[in-house]
Amino acid sequence: MELPLLQFETEQEWKDFLLQYPSWTVVNKNKMTEETLYEYRLVNGTRILVREFPYTSGEETISCQEWYLWRSEIRHFRNARVRLEDVIDYMQNENE
């Protein structure tokens, strides 16, 4: 999914947008590990990727997310891993 440049006023608006990642394009679904990879393509070519997976501790299972900023210079998936706050900072700086 590639959409026009995003414009939000506050950090909370950015966070609210990013947490809607389940509405983004699903680029990979692994039935064995129950992982889903979501993608949002920015106009500058950077991709925001979210890896969602279940984590079970005892009898409780929770949904976990890992965030990635994939840019053209990155060659290995692990090198793209960031925190949600890093994605927000990146998006705010791109829109200045």
Report the candidate in 71, 76, 73 with the shortest Cα–Cα distance to residue 86: 71
Percent of the chain at pLDDT > 90 equals 69
* Residue-wise pLDDT tens digits, 36-78: 999 999 888 899 999 999 999 899 999 999 999 999 899 998 9
Whole-prediction pTM value?
0.86
Could you read off the pLDDT of 12-37 as tens digits, one per residue? 988 999 999 999 999 999 999 999 99
Residues 6+ apart with CB under 8 A from 95: 5, 6, 7, 8
